[in-house]
Amino acid sequence: MRGLIGKKIGMTRVFNSIGHSIPVTVLEVGPCYVTQIKTVNKDGYDAVQLGFLELKKKHTTKPLHGHFKKNNVKPTRTLAEFKSVPDFNYKTGQIFNVSLFSEGDFVSVSGKSKGRGFAGTIKKYSFSTQRKTHGQGDTHRHVGSIGAASDPSRVFPGKKMPGRYGNKTVSMSGLEVVSVDESKNQLLVKGSVPGATNGIVYITR
């Protein structure tokens, strides 16, 4: 399996053999159920669909309930696809857990960053503030000029402007697996990962 779905528990620290403190993020990874196997002949590409966090039947939509019933698997809260490993015999209902990873592996973790709502350029892009004296008034946190009037007479696409900040998919690559706890389905990775506590994350090798 190329990866698994998990949940961010929070951050803590562990100490290595020589007493150095290592900041780690605790992830609850799996168990994940194979809910669908996609093939080139039927779907146009090879992939394995996994489900994470069991869900009651009454909380699933009718289309999703039909999808789970068709593949004879339990309803799950989150679905995600991962590339399949060639020549591996996948079966619907098959379970993958945190034992997929081992200490010393390097993984990539993707998740939704914290949504911060509408924000100005000072907070969103770390712009410098304008001076607060010499006739500035209350404009010291404003954007300033966004382009010339006569030429080019327009605002260029991609101009950094105030707007929604966060709540986007962010990926962190090259994170080292510090520890694997199979009894608790927990994975400790070095450093921080995107998202808030209890946010869904996708871990790939």
State yes or no: pLDDT of 157 exceeds 90: yes
Res 186: pLDDT:
93
Tokens of 190: 């070095």
Res 133: pLDDT:
87
Res 37: pLDDT:
92
| CB contact at 8 A, 35 and 53 | no
User: Cis omega (within 30 of 0) on the bond before 86?
Assistant: no
Give the domains, in start order, of the chain with CATH numbers.
Answer: 3-115+171-204 (2.40.30.10), 116-165 (4.10.960.10)
Cα atoms found within 13 Å of the Cα of residue 92, Cβ hemisphere only = 13
Res 175: pLDDT:
94
State yes or no: pLDDT of 139 exceeds 90: no
- At residue 184, the 3 state secondary structure works out as coil
Kindly indicate the confidence band of residue 134, based on its pLDDT and cuts at 50, 70 and 90.
Answer: confident
State yes or no: pLDDT of 1 exceeds 80: no
Residue 36 and residue 154: Cα distance in Å, rounded? 49
Kindly indicate the confidence band of residue 198, based on its pLDDT and cuts at 50, 70 and 90.
Answer: very high
Q: What is the pLDDT of residues 164-195, one digit of tens each?
A: 999 999 999 999 999 999 999 999 999 999 99
Res 45: pLDDT:
92
Please give the single-letter amino acid code of residue 21.
S
Q: What is the pTM of this model?
A: 0.85
Find, among 47, 59, 52, the residue nearest to 111 by Cα: 52
